[in-house]
Structure 1
Amino acid sequence: MAAKKNFPLRIDPTLYEALERWAGEEFRSVNGHIEFLLRESLKRAGRLPDRKPRDEQL
């Protein structure tokens, strides 16, 4: 698995609080939930390159 890219994110406190609640409801960290939401948005927009299923990568 490739290393993840770290970067600072400035976000409105109210938006962060809403994300924090939502992430908790989904049993994810805020970081994990943001990544999930971005990935889903990119898929819907057709901007995420196709990847092989995890089993085929081994």
Structure 2
Amino acid sequence: MAERKAFPLRIDPDLWLAVERCATANLRSANAEVECLLREALKARGVKLSPPKAVKRGRPAKENDDG
């Protein structure tokens, strides 16, 4: 999984409730919603970001043990 930067965030409770409502409406976690909102805000300001690294999902391949 791609490495993520963890940090504490001080945020107005009403603002956090709005983020949680948006996250629920978009079927995301609140953390994913915050990340999406930040990306949208930076894009609107013309800040270029490298594309997010793809996360390989699904079941890992089976290992064949012939021993």
1:7-42 Cα shifts (integer Å, max 9, x gaps) = 000111111111111110000001000000001111
Q: Which residue of 1 aligns with 2:58?
A: none
Tell me the distance in 1 between the aligned counterparts of 2:14 and 2:52.
Answer: 37
Report the CA distance between 1:51 and its aligned residue. Answer: 3.6
1:19–1:49 Cα change, 3 Å: closer
Percent sequence identity over aligned pairs:
48
Let me know the Cα RMSD of the aligned residues.
2.1
Paired residue secondary structure (2:14): helix
Which one has the bigger helix percentage? Answer: 1
Question: What number of residue pairs does the alignment pair up?
Answer: 54
Q: Gaps spanning 5+ residues in structure 1: where?
A: none
The runs of at least 4 aligned residues of structure 1 exceeding 2 Å deviation read: 48-54
| Alpha-carbon offset, residue 47 of structure 1 | 1.1
Could you list the runs of 5+ residues in structure 2 that have no partner in the other structure?
A: 55-67
Opposite residue 18 of structure 1, the aligned amino acid is A
Higher-RCO chain (CA-CA 8 Å, sequence separation at least 6): 2
